[in-house]
Structure 1
Amino acid sequence: MVVQTVPLRDLVARVDLGLTVLCGAGTLDRPVRWAHVSELEDPTPYLVGEELLLTAGVRFPSDVAAYVSGLVSSGVSAIGFGVEPEFPTVPSSLVDVCAAQGMPLLEVPPSTPFLAVSQALGALLAEIAGREQRMLADSQRALTRAATRVRPVESVLTTLAVVLNCRADLVDEASAPPDVVSLVGRVSSGRGPRSASAQVGEDQVTLDPVESAVLVVRRPAPLSPAERAVVAVALALLGLLRRDLESERGQIARLAASALLRQQVSGVSAVLGDGPHRVVAGQSRADYDVLAARYGPLVSKEGEGFLALVAAGVEVSGPVGVSPVAAATETAASAVDGPGAAPSVPRSAVDAAAAEASALLARALATGEPAFPASGLASLVDPVAARAFARRELAPLAGHPELVDTLRAWLAQHGGWDRAAAVLGVHRNSVRHRISHVERLLDRDLGTADARASLWFALTWLD
């Protein structure tokens, strides 16, 4: 069983207790599990570590240095000395020895019973436990929602990064960062430990296997037990999604294969008409039902999302990504359907359009409106130059997909914290934190219209 702890500073901060720090002010981050009262000259046989040891000096030790040394060796987090009735003030010898041995020493005033200190510690522990339970429940809901989106693996990783304020990557030995590649190799090899945790540079890194890949979670602070439980939820979801990954990728191939089958029978124009064709990516159930009824096997569903090969003029009600499909040349069409056949939809073009439509869906979900490639002013710009600009403008955000998603949603909602939080499925304070981080990384003031316009353009071409 994992026992919760409270930072010593949280107990000291309780004004009602009136505790005074006599030494060790720089070590108040020490964890405290419980408060223990002892007047023994040598209480060490009865200690287990991380206690706040409370004493009034009823049997004050003759060898103070040995007394404190024993407490340090036993893992005691701090000493609380109650003044009166035995001592009017904390003995100076105890203060000096505690300062020399790095043991935090608190003065407990006569008005504060030791029982009040124990009760306050219990209340703080209960508050932390409740807060972590709420965090775990909220995180489970957010991760479950993420697993139902069109790009579920990426969505789960982004959500995990947001809720734990970390970086989360799914890698193998070939794609792992150099500083963790050896750890990834050990975890994924199937030999030895099936998970690992290590300090890498300034980050605490945890690694867990997910099918043939490894989930790497890194951040400066170690994960709490509740946060490890959040990772366990993500691991379970990613395991299911990884097993379905080939099926998920196969949806696009099956969509293209359906189109190809239609070509070989009577030409795709028999189903979609002679005009230009589009691939639509969306999540709305209403849109899916309408398109499935009209286009049948040219509509492919995966979880909450769908892909559809449709005629150019089709109308939808929800946010979608829409990408045009390049038509085959008349010569190529004749080779499939015979001389004089109308231009057909080549399978490779459907694959490319489906991938682009899926990427555009992220922008559509952020804005609540359909997203098209190179639409509006973007259509007047050289695509090569625009993509180079986007990579240069957003280079500091490389490796931070959660920041890119947050920036896109926030800009799409005109800087509205609550609306962006609703789009992302996170708390508004998470959005504020992420946007502040973006401002620092980009060294830009996002309060200016110029910065917002420039970054929105870059995000448009980053897709």
Structure 2
Amino acid sequence: MQTVPLKDLVARVDLGLTVLCGADGLDRPIRWAHVSELEDPTPYLVGQELLLTAGVRFPSDVPAYVAGLVSSGVSAIGFGVEPEFPTVPLSLVEACAAQGMPLLEVPPSTPFLAVSQALGALLAEIAVREQRMLADSQRALTRAATRVRPVESVLTTLAVVLNCRADLVDPASAPEDVATLARRVASGTGPRSASTQVGEDHVTLDPVESAVLVVRRSMPLSPAERAVVAVALALLGLLRRDLESERGQIARLAASALLRSRVTGVGNVLGPGPYRVMAGQSRADYDVLAQRYGPLVSKVEDGFLALVPAGFEVSGPVGVSAEVSESDITSAVEEASAMLARALATGSPAFPAAELSSLVDPVAARAFARRELAALLGRPELVETLRAWLGQHGSWDRAAAALGVHRNSVRHRISHVERLLGRDLGSADARASLWLALTWLD
């Protein structure tokens, strides 16, 4: 059920509420306002109320009265002055202060009905905001699920939307502080989801196929935010199933190559090894490769994979694995798929960094890096921002999440980088050049 922080109600100038004690409890949630003149209203309370009273039947034992409200989960007391009392009784102020109960003075000009109506209006505003947030989050998560490396994109978007850390972990290698709970959630014999406190973090765990989604942040999730997590869970579940299907395709590609090696030999199709795996999205590239290498080219989600000779000349945005033998084809597929994301960001072929480094003289590579990045070398925060932004394919939100800063800070820093370097980072050539420089920087 929706709640409103007590401070939001106190901030309503038209109500004229005065905080007499318990100011450190103004973040307490208020579910509704309840009027009661009973000496013991506790049987009729469910918690998180703002209890409104004018002291018509003022309790004889005030500390016990306040203690009962505290134990019932009342969030605050609002005392209406006049006609019964000209001021809030000192005994009530002292009892509330001693027991940590926020106490508000309600002026004669503010009927209890006005307080209830104001609370209702605030609750309605929150409901509208949360519905809008939920709709916006659904759109953002759905868009993320259509990007390259969609699982990572959904996790990054979820982290930005909820201002949290979101990780999809294997229960067998989950972080130590949640490992036991992660295994229980994933086992199917324990809770379907779980929440716990780890240090200052509120942590929720939900199963996603054979993995577990771990969400951490400083504040508990609201019901609307839990609904956002539910959307992410549904998308991640679909993506995980698609990933398993894609892995099956990858396995079939590898099996196809190995089968041909047993029947006619991969060498009869590609020539003697070593080989490379290419990952791309261009239909034209796929058609050329399929015509040339036939069964060693396979369509996968959003693109293709191909087994080619190590010396095959590549161009355009394709991910390329290191040189491999027949026995390492499957791992090469995974490597090429990872390189594709970088290739799409730069618009040029992407090779494993270690292999690129082996092709370039180390001294020349370092000199190139320091020359390209000279204007940034005294500004480590700009270097790391550029690295994160390029590594996240130019995404402001994902780079901000990776750096732990606001997206506007990333925009400002990248603009500063462009001015200092005199480079247009919208250019694929500039991005590729700077990514290599960052790779080879000391």
Question: What is the TM-score of this pair, normalised by structure 1?
Answer: 0.71
The one of 57, 60, 72 aligned to 1:59: 57
Give runs of aligned pairs for residues 143-182 of structure 1, distance below 5 A.
143-182=141-180
* 2:219 alignment partner, SS class: coil
Cα distance in 2 for partners of 1:295, 1:110 equals 87
Q: Match for residue 337 of structure 1?
A: none
Q: Match for residue 347 of structure 1?
A: 326
Contact 1:322–1:370 (Cα < 8 Å) also in 2? yes
Alpha-carbon offset, residue 32 of structure 1 = 0.4
The one of 17, 22, 25 aligned to 1:24: 22
* 1:111 alignment partner, SS class: coil
Cα distance in 2 for partners of 1:172, 1:322 equals 26
Give runs of aligned pairs for residues 192-271 of structure 1, distance below 5 A.
192-259=190-257
**Residues 1:461 and 1:304: Cα distance change in structure 2 (over 3 Å):** farther
Q: Match for residue 87 of structure 2?
A: 89
The one-letter amino acid of 2:108's match is P
Q: Match for residue 48 of structure 1?
A: 46
Contact 1:166–1:217 (Cα < 8 Å) also in 2? yes
Q: Match for residue 34 of structure 2?
A: 36
Cα distance in 1 for partners of 2:88, 2:173 equals 59
**Residues 1:33 and 1:284: Cα distance change in structure 2 (over 3 Å):** farther
Cα distance in 1 for partners of 2:144, 2:304 equals 15
**Residues 1:172 and 1:150: Cα distance change in structure 2 (over 3 Å):** same
**Structure 2: gaps (5+ residues):** 367-383, 408-412, 426-430
Cα distance in 2 for partners of 1:284, 1:88 equals 80
More deviation, 243-252/68-77: 243-252
The alignment covers a number of residue pairs equal to 405
* 1:107 alignment partner, SS class: strand
Alpha-carbon offset, residue 200 of structure 1 = 2.5
Alpha-carbon offset, residue 93 of structure 1 = 1.9
The one of 97, 109, 112 aligned to 2:110: 112
Q: Match for residue 323 of structure 2?
A: 326
More deviation, 279-288/351-360: 279-288
Deviations 1:5-45 (A, max 9, x none): 11112222223323221100111111100112223333333
Q: Match for residue 75 of structure 1?
A: 73
The one-letter amino acid of 1:116's match is A
Contact 2:154–2:236 (Cα < 8 Å) also in 1? yes
The one-letter amino acid of 2:160's match is V
Q: Match for residue 360 of structure 2?
A: 380
**Residues 1:24 and 1:136: Cα distance change in structure 2 (over 3 Å):** same
Cα distance in 1 for partners of 2:392, 2:208 equals 35
The one of 121, 124, 128 aligned to 2:122: 124
Cα distance in 2 for partners of 1:105, 1:283 equals 64
Q: Match for residue 358 of structure 1?
A: 337
Alpha-carbon offset, residue 229 of structure 1 = 2.0
More deviation, 355-364/68-77: 355-364
* 2:191 alignment partner, SS class: coil
Alpha-carbon offset, residue 158 of structure 1 = 3.2
Cα distance in 2 for partners of 1:432, 1:167 equals 12
Alpha-carbon offset, residue 53 of structure 1 = 1.3
The one-letter amino acid of 1:358's match is S
Alpha-carbon offset, residue 182 of structure 1 = 2.0
The one-letter amino acid of 1:24's match is G
* 2:63 alignment partner, SS class: helix
Deviations 1:102-154 (A, max 9, x none): 11011223333322322221222122222222232233333333334443433
Identity, in percent, stands at 77
Cα distance in 2 for partners of 1:232, 1:123 equals 27
Alpha-carbon offset, residue 87 of structure 1 = 3.0
* 2:87 alignment partner, SS class: coil
Cα distance in 2 for partners of 1:290, 1:18 equals 76
**Residues 1:198 and 1:228: Cα distance change in structure 2 (over 3 Å):** same
Cα distance in 2 for partners of 1:5, 1:43 equals 21
Contact 2:319–2:351 (Cα < 8 Å) also in 1? yes
Contact 1:326–1:349 (Cα < 8 Å) also in 2? no
Cα distance in 2 for partners of 1:194, 1:349 equals 38
Cα distance in 2 for partners of 1:277, 1:19 equals 76
Q: Match for residue 8 of structure 2?
A: 10
CA RMSD of aligned residues (A): 4.4
The one-letter amino acid of 2:336's match is A
Cα distance in 1 for partners of 2:86, 2:343 equals 70
More deviation, 185-194/361-370: 361-370
Alpha-carbon offset, residue 295 of structure 1 = 6.3
**Residues 1:119 and 1:293: Cα distance change in structure 2 (over 3 Å):** farther
Contact 1:32–1:51 (Cα < 8 Å) also in 2? yes
Q: Match for residue 400 of structure 1?
A: none
The one-letter amino acid of 2:177's match is D
Question: What is the TM-score of this pair, normalised by structure 2?
Answer: 0.74
* 1:174 alignment partner, SS class: helix
Q: Match for residue 428 of structure 2?
A: none
